Structure 1
Amino acid sequence: MKHLLIVAHAPSDNTRRLRDAAARGARHADIADVSVTLKAPLDAGPEDVRQCDAILLGTTENLGYMSGALKDFFDRSYYVVLEEKRGLPCALYIRAGRDGTGTQRAVEGIVTGLGWKWAQAPLICQGEWQADFEDQVEELGMALAAGLEAGIL
């Protein structure tokens, strides 16, 4: 059994909908051999990263940067998992009121330093809320879990 960790900052109703969509996709009925753990960034830490086979990160865009909660998760986990989790498959979604590029660059810099590998390009849910944001994030969660189960990640 493979293990997918979802670390998602969800301070609003809409971001909770995205977090739940990611988990719903990752727990799709057709994906049987992947367990999913969903945690807020302030509740997740290096032990969670050590136990996972892939990670899905979710954050809001805060002043052109990732959420402070996700940054705190990285601060507490970075050096602890640096050597043992190189190559960890990862994905990212960003809920951005603006363009999300600063947030993307910040997370990409940390992920590069950790030596994690992108399962796919970051997803930016940009601008005014759109109903299909949930579908996009659900597909992201499903694709990451399915790739993990299939052994291609």
Structure 2
Amino acid sequence: MSSVLVVHHAPSPRLRRIVEAIETGMAHPELEDIAVESVPALAATDDHVLRADGYVFLTPANFGYMSGALKHFFDRTYYTCEGAVSGRPYALCVHGDNDTAGAVTSVEKIATGWALQAVAPATQLIGELGRDDLDTVAEVAATVAANLLG
């Protein structure tokens, strides 16, 4: 059985709705052979990363960058996992009040260093979330899992 690790920093109701949408996307009946582990960024470890076959990262855009919690996760796991996760699929979701570009760039640089393979362009959400936004998040998350099924 393959697995997807969802690493998130979701301190607000909007971001918690995005986590729920990610988990909903992964719960699709066609993906029943995929195990999903959803872990807050401050609790995620290199063991979580190494056990997973694919990843979804979720962060708010804070001051033009990824959240401190997600940065801390990458700081703690980067060198231990470097070279061991090459080629694995990932997706990125960023929420901001007005701009997400810097946060996207910062995470994509780390994903490039790990040699992860993006399964879709980063999902960038601004402001209030509509049903279409959450459906898009669910679809992108499901794409990571579907990628593992071949």
| Same fold flag (TM > 0.5) | yes
Equivalent residue, structure 1, for 2:116? 116
The unaligned stretches of length 5 or more in structure 1 are: none
Secondary structure of the corresponding residue to residue 5 of structure 2: strand
Secondary structure of the corresponding residue to residue 133 of structure 1: helix
Alignment check: 8 A CA contact 2:56 2:91 kept:
yes
Equivalent residue, structure 2, for 1:93? 93
Note the alpha carbon deviations across 1:38-68, whole angstroms, 9 max, x for none: 0000010110010000000000000010000
The structural deviation recorded for 1:136 is 1.3
Find out whether 1:140 has 2:113 as its counterpart: no
Structure 2 Cα separation of the partners of residues 32 and 129 of structure 1: 28
Equivalent residue, structure 2, for 1:71? 71
Alignment check: 8 A CA contact 1:7 1:56 kept:
yes
Structure 2 Cα separation of the partners of residues 67 and 124 of structure 1: 14
Moved more, 62-71 or 137-146: 137-146
Superposed CA RMSD: 1.1
Structure 1 Cα separation of the partners of residues 129 and 3 of structure 2: 31
The structural deviation recorded for 1:99 is 2.1
Aligned counterparts, 1:46-65, within 5 A: 46-65=46-65
Structure 1 Cα separation of the partners of residues 98 and 10 of structure 2: 17
The unaligned stretches of length 5 or more in structure 2 are: none
After TM superposition, the runs of 4+ consecutive aligned structure 1 residues lying more than 3 A away are none
Equivalent residue, structure 2, for 1:83? 83
Task: Work out the number of aligned pairs and report it.
Answer: 150
Structure 2 Cα separation of the partners of residues 139 and 12 of structure 1: 22
Structure 2 Cα separation of the partners of residues 87 and 129 of structure 1: 31
Identity score, percent:
37
Secondary structure of the corresponding residue to residue 29 of structure 2: coil
Equivalent residue, structure 2, for 1:16? 16
Structure 2 Cα separation of the partners of residues 132 and 15 of structure 1: 15
